[in-house]
Chains A and B, each alone.
Chain A
């Protein structure tokens, strides 16, 4: 049997199921993944659902949640003469006074890389210090860990800004005005961490968490499972993406991360400090930490530019449309806040696909 991920009839069945099960009140469901947001917006899924279901993107875009302080550190390293390497989207995020791209145009040696291995290649070809701005969630971190464990050149270090998804979800549930009825958990991250880390969240906060894949039917399926749980009053951590996620996750990747990194408190743009929500290098790899190797000013820059609603957007408390700057002074071509930078970012996605009109 051919299984089509975009089958219209299956979509209709799932939407009908959601319609039948969803309670007769506003229901707010948050996902934590830029790729989910693209699937939802590109396929017009919101238009298929009843108005009372409100789907928001939470802190799911690594570029958006990286705090200004980490960008400022990277800018400082580049100014001091190191070769700073970063993923494409990070180049455009404004730090306190400018972005890495702007610093590059002034002559600093900042280079765009597509993977951490590319940064290693650069380090192999020079005697200068090469620093990799290491951002990302559980999905990207194993690769960085593997590279560090594999004896990279002496002149290579990383600026660790790696983050963990479950503590960020927890922080949203702990907000005083929390009104989240359920989470779609990110498929890629869950491939690595499995289902288990979500279980304590469901137990302590009572909101269903369902892991979702990336095709439109995957998202509708995850939504259906969430509203079924809400209707039954039995929240649980459920795997709605079984072809991609095992209950225990990917043990090998988990070991790679544990071998090189350790859990630490971490600042998230828009949220602030979240206990045990980030990763830094453990004692065996401390000499690879650019923060140890160089003298970096730990002073945090401002969280986000004035009047930018990014902090509220990241915490699922506002949509891009609620921001006065959206589409006016803040566009993908000239981003004012971090949520407009990069193709995973909520404001950027809403800009490109025309937001969430009533169609």
Chain B
């Protein structure tokens, strides 16, 4: 119907999910040709890229731009997000984060006091994660040319053996390090101005310590942090990249009551909203129980659970075994979920 019109970027193109896959494939990957400096490059669409060092070890490089509405939300703010997001991208690649950069883009008229609280929060998270911020850049744009504040952070890490998100094997168990949907639903609740009060806050946290403990337990084949698009997106990506299938048991997936309450009310699935302090891990069936035990000992992993397993039956698909015992596909969401209208 609209072939004549010029194609434009839509908001759903940036929301994770299938629409974003097309944007990246048809435009970004189509225009760049020199895209790798090591085993994992841009084409792998992993959380970061690798550069193998001559004398052993692998450098992992990642970058992430952060915008969030609102800038301050229950349990965190854009500063904490900027540090934790990048630290976590390195951690799920199996790397120990070495250092971060911080680029601030600020709108003219942005209150200095707010900037200070965001920076203080970056400082806190950098201390908590034990990762220094060693260089940065600052730009101020004319009023109206952007909305408030955007932060880009890049991170450099070092891995003995990087872990890709494509490495799972048939028979592996799928581990979730804690409850899903906390971040997405906390924001949704705040944005929608829902009148009821819950204790729900974002799960935002640096995962480097937790994931290094998990790795030491052994047998981990893949890791990924389920941010935008939630675990529905991440599980489908992991299945797609490995060419294998995943079966998830609905009743095994930890979900807080407050999260399922809001989900029911606004008609958005907790599987499709962002997490900022969780990881999906696959581990061999011999080691998975031990990995979960180690994770559970850490304060960020007390609700960890095995939620499913990897198989060859339905390649590149995720199957959900529902609470009543039915089976269906868990599909990748189309774009950012919006609250139900009727």
Contact = CB atoms under 8 A, between A and B. Distances in A.
26 contacts: A6-B322, A7-B324, A42-B322, A42-B328, A43-B323, A43-B328, A44-B320, A44-B328, A45-B324, A45-B326, A47-B328, A48-B326, A87-B341, A88-B342, A89-B342, A94-B1, A216-B323, A331-B334, A332-B334, A352-B334, A353-B328, A353-B331, A354-B317, A355-B329, A359-B328, A359-B329
Interface residues of B, number: 24
B327 interface: yes
Given A44-B324, A44-B327, 17 more contacts: A6-B323, A8-B323, A8-B324, A11-B324, A12-B325, A44-B326, A44-B328, A47-B326, A94-B1, A112-B341, A114-B341, A216-B324, A331-B334, A352-B331, A354-B329, A357-B329, A359-B328
B342 A87 contact: yes
A46 B12 CA distance: 31
B255 interface: no
Contacts of A89: 341-342
Q: What 7 A-B pairs have minimum CB-CB distances, sorted nearest first?
A: A44-B326, A354-B329, A88-B341, A44-B328, A359-B327, A11-B324, A6-B323
Interface in A332-352: 332-333, 343-344, 352
Interface string B305-328: 000000000100101111111111
B325 A11 contact: yes
A6 B255 CA distance: 15
B325 A8 contact: yes
B19 interface: yes
A6 B341 contact: no
Contacts of B326: 43-48, 216
A48 B325 contact: yes
B324 A43 contact: yes
B319 A217 contact: no
B334 A333 contact: yes
A343 B267 contact: yes
A41 interface: yes
A216 B322 CA distance: 10
B208 to A, nearest CB: 35
A114 B342 CA distance: 7
A190 to B, nearest CB: 18
B178 interface: no
Interface residues of A, number: 36
A353 B325 CA distance: 16
Contact of B331 (A12, A216, A220, A354): A354
A259 B103 CA distance: 64
Interface string A65-92: 0000000000000000000000111000
Interface in A21-69: 41-48
A290 to B, nearest CB: 21
Interface of B: 1, 12, 19, 251, 267, 314, 317, 319-329, 331, 334-335, 340-342
A357 B319 CA distance: 11
Interface string A183-217: 00000000000000000000000000000000011
Contacts of B321: 44
A333 B328 contact: no
B341 A41 contact: no
Nearest to A88: B341
Contacts of B12: 333
A216 B267 CA distance: 16
A184 B27 CA distance: 48
B108 to A, nearest CB: 30
Nearest to A136: B342
Nearest to A332: B334
A88 B325 CA distance: 34
Contacts of B328: 41-44, 47, 353-354, 359
A6 B331 contact: no
A81 B78 CA distance: 43
Contacts of A6: 322-324
